[in-house]
Amino acid sequence: MAVRRAAALDTRSLFAEYPFLAGAESLLAGERVSVRSLLEDASYARARAIGRARVLAAADDPRASRDLGEIAGAEADVRYLSFLFAQILLAASPSAAPLRRWAVAEAKRAHARLADVPAEELIEVARRLGFAMEVIEGERIAVPLVDYLRLAVPIREADFRLPRQDLDRGRVLIGRVRAARLVQEAIRLRLSLPVPLADDARDAVRGQERETLATLAARTPVPVARPGAGLGAIRPELFPPCIRKMQRMLQAGENLSHSGRFCLAAFLHRAGADFETIVDAYRGAPDFDEAVTRYQVEHITGHDGGRGYTPPECDTLRSHGLCFRDGDPSAVLPLDRERDERCFEPTLRHPLQYYRRRGGRLTEADAVVRPSSATGPEEGRGTPGAPGRSRSTGPRR
């Protein structure tokens, strides 16, 4: 059965579909548009409305599972201006989380087309993003090893690991499905960078779009710990450095690894957090999906008759690059930047042990004595998925 492909695009249509590409400004036909005019000029009202829709839709649905009719029905220049307005709006947001979530949603929306276009269009988009791809025999695509590693490493799915790929003279040979996924990652990387705004422009956007920014903040809440049943209040200030770092990453909209997501859910459950608190902790993730997160948190916390999985021990966290006992240079608070001497005590082997020693209460007295039931998604069959991210089970393509 023949596979239907979308028709090849002319340059103008290409930029309308992918407004983040270099050269897309040509859609304005030389018209000069300033931040102030885009923000206030009545002739750009429709572009602003579509731009708001793009941003708010991403906050609700970072997987871009629903089509935005406003975009499809707009002229090419309006689509481009709506994209610019979305970037400006997000650059003025006090939190980086909405930008990261929007980047994921826009990349996924582009991927929905990239998975069904001629190989030439896929390669052209990759080229304009700065990544070299080349069609070889059949529908196989060759990617320089350096480009492949830059795009594949953040994906973290087992099927994208280098040992599983076909190599040929410094190139990685992949199918179109995998190539489209790599280009999606390239788009996410491009859009995750905020556009620079002068202070006066940022103030103008915040003043003009105060209501939109407030709505955006409400739809991407910062996780808040709530009391667990029978244990009193959860005390995040007593959490070990590794757990605090995982929380900060999610609050900032950064991509936390599969192992880190599992560890955080298991730790919060053992520390007495209720189900909704654990789900809330992942709302800042750039690929947050409520249904997937609830399913996976339920699995992690319901394991072993409700005792739940035990988070990994300190040695395992160090092997996964999730230990921050030496301090986190990127942290805002001095406490998080400093080396934590408690973590270097010879008898400390587990993050739950750290929490209990500092006065935190656990659901089980033997939680740090019993070996960990699972240490993350790469420890073998039967381990749970990480909240907010589905595991790859499909065939290699």
DSSP characters over 139-187: T-EEEEHHHHHHHHGGG--GGGSGGGSEEETTEEEE-HHHHHHHHHHHH
pLDDT score, position 220: 66
As a whole number of angstroms, the distance between CA 154 and CA 336 comes to: 25
- Asked whether 117 and 6 are in contact (CB, 8 A), the reply is yes
11-191 folds as: Transcription Elongation Factor S-II; Chain A (1.20.930)
Q: What are phi and psi of 32, to 5 degrees?
A: -90, 120
Number of H helices and E strands in the chain, helices first, is 18, 4
pLDDT for residue 1: 31
> Along the 397 residues of the chain, how does pLDDT read in single tens digits?
334 455 557 889 899 999 999 999 999 987 889 999 999 999 999 999 999 999 998 887 777 767 777 888 889 999 999 999 999 999 999 887 788 889 988 999 999 999 888 899 999 999 999 999 999 877 799 999 999 999 988 776 778 889 999 999 999 999 999 999 999 999 998 998 899 999 999 999 999 999 999 998 887 654 444 444 455 667 888 999 999 999 988 888 888 999 999 999 999 999 888 887 788 788 878 888 777 888 899 999 888 877 889 999 999 999 999 999 999 998 888 889 999 999 999 999 999 999 999 998 888 644 444 444 443 333 333 346 677 654 433 333 4
Which pLDDT score is estimated for 3?
40
Supply angle C-alpha 113, 212, 13, rounded to 5: 25
104 Cβ neighbours under 8 A, 6+ residues apart? 58, 62, 63, 188, 286, 287
Q: Where are the domains of the chain?
A: 11-191, 222-357
Of 162, 179, 76, give the one whose Cα is nearest residue 119: 179
Per this entry, what is the length of the chain? 397
Residue 151's nearest CA partner among 165, 139, 137 is 165
Phi-psi category of 308—alpha, beta or left, where left has phi over 0 and alpha has psi -120 to 50?
left
Provide the pLDDT for residue 371. Answer: 43
Q: Record the pTM.
A: 0.68
290: left (phi over 0), alpha (psi -120 to 50) or beta: alpha
CA distances (Å), origin 163, targets 159, 192, 255: 9, 28, 23
Cα(367)–Cα(344) distance, integer angstroms = 20
Q: Are 281 and 372 in contact (CB under 8 A)?
A: no
Give the three-class secondary structure for 195: coil
d(CA 301, CA 394): 26
